[in-house]
Amino acid sequence: MTASAAARTVLTTGRLEGLTEAEAARRLAAAGPNEVAVRKPVRLHSRILAQLRDPLIMVLLGAVVLTLAIGDHADAIVIAVVVVVNTTVGVVQEVRADDAVAALSALSAPHARVRRDGAVRDLPAAAVVPGDVLLLGEGDVAAADAELAEASALLLDESMLTGESVPVDKEAGDPLSAGTVVLRGRGVATVTATGATGALGRIAALLDDRREPTPLQHRLAALGRVLAAVTLVLCALVFVLGLVRGLPPGTMAVTAIGLAVAAVPESLPAVVTLALALGARRMVARHALVRRLPAVETLGSVSVLATDKTGTLTEGRMVVQHVWTPETAVDLTGSGYGPEGEALVDGRPAEGDEIAPVRELLRVAALCNDAVLRPPDPETSDTRWTALGDPTEAALLAAATKAGCPRPVELSATRPRIGEAPFDSVRKRMTTLHSAGKDRVLVCLKGAPEAVLVPTVLTDRPDLLARARQEAARLAARGYRVLAVASGTRGDVPSPVTAAESGLALLGLVALSDPPKPHASATLAACRTAGITPVLITGDHPATAKAVASRVTLLGDDDGPEGRVVTGAEVAAGRVPDLTSVRVFARTDPRQKLDVIEAWRARGAVTAMTGDGVNDGPALHRADIGIAMGARGTEVARQAADLVLTDDELSTVVAAVEEGRRVYNNIRRFLVYGMAGGAAEILVMLAGPLLGLPLPLRAGQILWINLLTHGLTGVAMGAEPAAPGVMRRPPRPPDQHILGDGAWQRLLLLAAAVTAAALGAGLVAHALDLAWQSVLFLALLSAQLGAVLGLRDRLLTRRNPFLPLAVLLSALLAAAALYVPFLSSVLDTEALGSVGVGLGAACAPVGFLAARLVRTAFRRPDSAGRSGTSGLR
């Protein structure tokens, strides 16, 4: 095929202006949002029935029937109130957690690039309508069913729909299904179906939309079953001891049942769900979007952070600073993607003969380019030029403008593209073909120096190629990202396009700068302090990787593995016996990124991996926590990740890890507190009769204590801020039991202290002939309320006012149980005088001090060898 014939067969994107905004709005109203079947909301009665089906709640309902049968109406009322309150709290927590997860799902919805009113726009996929013109590039996920109007080397992954793992080539006129992934090339398509009428919508209608519990919830459910079995055995013992002492069987049965329910924190699963969901929402405020709820709990265990370079450790705004050609070399001034700047030779403006070869090089680089530059929007306060597409290609467009080349639109009009071989991580170069007049084709190529400066691609003299390679190495050693640019002409359109990658002439080298972010060094230092090992994995030149890694203090000073850069070729050749000993990898491909992640996981590490491209997708999926860049990342990377950074800042990962540790610590704190209180209630009921207190507490009194301690204060504990030294401790081992690291010991010691204080107060009241059962009731409740304040990491913090307010409200309700006639009658308590109140209230500081001592008695050293500030890590 001749060049002119090829040019006539190409459908250019300029002819597809797309819909107007007004027409798009009309179609959106008619067709509805482009969303698959939405998860059906759970009806209120279904939530209530689910709560009532809990085994322990069913036991309580049985106790209501039993107490009514024996005429114990007071206890029946108390137990019924507890059932109603527990069910209400559980339903409210479920609704709040579902709302939080739904809000996160809306934030993490995919995006699409469409052409409307002749301009390219980035929209949520839900806003795509039939008739929209979709622009597809490498890494994009098709937002809707469409028909391809233009396809250039387009390769799609349709495995999520067809199950076929082999990618499929697509051409103009072929159908395109929603959810398919662009692996290579680019395309333009017209949307034919959206939402439930599309392929993805029809499949989604068949899916089971039940939400699975998180791994932590599974572990806690297993723990709850064990605790329930142990508690029931102990409660049976309480029942038998009561009968031996001659107490009525009905009263002891109700007491034993109430004790069984009070001893186990049955609201823990709901508290965990709420803590995880609200923790995820707090992460959004810190620019970390959680796409999968279990990631919140996993974050606390991250021990290795594998990061890429561009846009993560560096600014991600590439700027061409130096252009080298065989004839001359110039420096370009200016920053960002704007056209401000000039070309300088030895500090003076470049003249005609000096700028000509530079201009030709940048003209070719602008043609071999898929990025788009956007001028400042007068409707917003943003005065910066922005880029849509690869930052490196955007920088080349900006440099071409500074050098005096025609605008990209004008270049495309005079040299229309008729073919291309997109960049990929194996070839490391990109080639485009352009019509250059009658029967002539212009070949434009750019890529990594080692992939371009070879005789199989270029026809230049060996000495020139050697000089270019030397210059490329020198620039890379200074921290620049270096690209080689070449071109040539021919009389036919080769098939495939890669056949044109030979017989070309070198135009020169482009050196781009992407300086490290100001806080990159501090962020990596914070990772090391938290026991997290940072590892750099990049596709850049080894010298560039080393220069950046040295500036952010990622490389060691020795000559061992931690002090040198290892290339992907060395990894592939098996020349690196231990991948976990290396801190910087360069020139890596997707397979080698997986190898690094797998090596760390095999060592038992919990890995987090950052990425933004299609080639990062497998590693993001394989890592324990995949982290995608929200601003510059591809849709493939975002959908493969567990966490999306909306600000593309590595420091946000550290903030997310801190939030994950905070959530997990609060759950452990609640578990220690709740189980210690339950154990204390059982010990009081077991030891009381042996010490002369026949029936220490009635069933209603036990349940009232449980309601005030586990309900109000338990939920408030989930909002506690992070401990001051939480990021100075090593990560939690992933296989550690939820009550490991000394939690069992803290629980038992705290339970013993609360039991001793409460029984002591009851025995003194019994000796003084006071209402000893009411004193014991107040003492046990006060000791637990004191303990919840003593377990705080920050005693006087204002960041969680809900906990002291919950303690105050619980204390008022405890007083109401003694002095409000109705409650006093129902709970069978008596009003206490000053001596009785003093005995009961004195247990609060005892519980507080016991909690503080328990914390300091089981400190765990932090990663710097200092003692931790919290015993409840």
Domain at 358, CATH number: 3.40.1110.10
Q: Point out the domain boundary residue: 648, 668, 693.
A: 648
pLDDT at 205 over 60: no
| Domain assignment of residue 32, yes or no | no
Structure confidence at residue 208 (pLDDT): 42
Write the DSSP string, 571-587.
HHTT--S-GGG-SEEES
Residue 535: name the closest of 788, 256, 312, 846 by CA: 312
Burial 199-209 (b: 16+ CB within 10 A, else e): bbbebbeeeee
| Domain assignment of residue 344, yes or no | no
In terms of pLDDT, which residue wins out, 127 or 108? 127
Most confident stretch, 172-181, 227-236, 641-650, 840-849: 840-849
| Domain assignment of residue 346, yes or no | no
| Domain assignment of residue 617, yes or no | yes
Q: What is the residue-averaged pLDDT of the chain?
A: 82
pLDDT band of residue 104 (cuts 50, 70, 90) is: very low
Q: Of 21-25, 98-102, 393-397, where does mean pLDDT reach its minimum? A: 98-102
pLDDT band of residue 170 (cuts 50, 70, 90) is: confident
Question: Do 689 and 542 belong together in one domain?
Answer: no
Q: What CATH number is given to the structural domain containing 241? A: 1.20.1110.10
Share of the chain above pLDDT 90, in %: 29
Structure confidence at residue 39 (pLDDT): 55
**Total structural domains within the chain:** 4
Structure confidence at residue 554 (pLDDT): 87
Tens digit of pLDDT for each residue in 404-426? 898 888 898 899 999 888 887 77
Structure confidence at residue 714 (pLDDT): 77
Terminal alpha carbon distance of the chain: 70
Distance CA 615, CA 660 (A): 28
Whether 735 is catalytic is no
In terms of pLDDT, which residue wins out, 243 or 201? 243
pLDDT at 743 over 90: no
Centroid of chain to Cα 113: 24
Token output for 714: 């338990």
Q: Of 43-57, 159-173, 191-205, 408-422, where does mean pLDDT reach its minimum? A: 159-173
Question: Do 452 and 398 belong together in one domain?
Answer: yes
Tens digit of pLDDT for each residue in 572-631? 888 888 999 999 999 888 888 889 999 999 998 999 998 876 667 788 888 889 898 876
Q: Write down the H helix ranges in 478-589.
A: 520-529, 542-551, 568-572
Q: What CATH number is given to the structural domain containing 532? A: 3.40.50.1000
Please report the sign of the dihedral spanned by the C-alpha atoms of residue 227, residue 230, residue 234, residue 236.
Answer: positive
pLDDT at 791 over 70: yes
Q: Of 358-367, 594-603, 659-668, where does mean pLDDT reach its minimum? A: 659-668
Q: Of 265-274, 733-742, 836-845, where does mean pLDDT reach its minimum? A: 265-274
Question: Do 530 and 626 belong together in one domain?
Answer: yes
Burial 398-418 (b: 16+ CB within 10 A, else e): bbbbbbebbebeebbeebbbb
Distance CA 98, CA 76 (A): 33
Segment 263-292 shows an average pLDDT of 72
Structure confidence at residue 556 (pLDDT): 64
pLDDT at 192 over 50: yes
Question: Do 387 and 497 belong together in one domain?
Answer: yes
| Domain assignment of residue 293, yes or no | no
Question: Do 49 and 10 belong together in one domain?
Answer: no
Cβ atoms of 802 and 716 closer than 8 Å:
yes
Question: Do 670 and 715 belong together in one domain?
Answer: yes
Q: Write down the H helix ranges in 478-541.
A: 520-529
Q: Is 35 helix (H, G, I), strand (E, B) or coil?
A: coil
Residue 56: name the closest of 279, 228, 274 by CA: 228
Most confident stretch, 12-26, 215-229, 688-702, 788-802: 788-802
Question: Do 416 and 324 belong together in one domain?
Answer: yes
Q: Point out the domain boundary residue: 165, 197, 229.
A: 197
Structure confidence at residue 674 (pLDDT): 86
- The C-alpha torsion from 203 through 204 and 210 to 212, rounded to 10°, is 80
Please report the sign of the dihedral spanned by the C-alpha atoms of residue 343, residue 393, residue 470, residue 461.
Answer: negative
Residue 535: name the closest of 501, 511, 571, 484 by CA: 571
pLDDT band of residue 130 (cuts 50, 70, 90) is: very high
In terms of pLDDT, which residue wins out, 328 or 232? 328
Structure confidence at residue 13 (pLDDT): 36
Distance CA 294, CA 328 (A): 56
Question: Do 387 and 453 belong together in one domain?
Answer: yes
pLDDT at 382 over 80: no
Global pTM value: 0.69
Segment 9-35 shows an average pLDDT of 73
Who contacts 448 (Cβ-Cβ below 8 Å, separation ≥6)? 428, 429, 482, 483, 484, 541
| DSSP state, residue 801 | T
Cβ atoms of 486 and 458 closer than 8 Å:
yes
Question: Do 461 and 446 belong together in one domain?
Answer: yes
Q: Which of 54, 75, 308, 828 is catalytic?
A: 308
Distances (CA, A) of 863 to 10, 448, 725: 62, 41, 10
Q: Of 123-132, 255-264, 820-829, where does mean pLDDT reach its minimum? A: 255-264
Q: Point out the domain boundary residue: 149, 165, 197.
A: 197
Token output for 602: 């095999």
Distance CA 223, CA 219 (A): 6
Residue 169: name the closest of 371, 422, 520, 462 by CA: 422
Q: Residue 417 belongs to what domain range?
A: 319-339+353-375+383-513
| Domain assignment of residue 588, yes or no | yes
| Domain assignment of residue 869, yes or no | no
Structure confidence at residue 204 (pLDDT): 52
Segment 263-270 shows an average pLDDT of 60
pLDDT at 269 over 70: no
Question: Do 682 and 821 belong together in one domain?
Answer: yes
pLDDT at 108 over 70: no
| Domain assignment of residue 136, yes or no | yes
Segment 264-293 shows an average pLDDT of 72
Structure confidence at residue 2 (pLDDT): 45
Question: Do 793 and 834 belong together in one domain?
Answer: yes
Question: Do 757 and 778 belong together in one domain?
Answer: yes
In terms of pLDDT, which residue wins out, 741 or 329? 329
In terms of pLDDT, which residue wins out, 761 or 427? 761
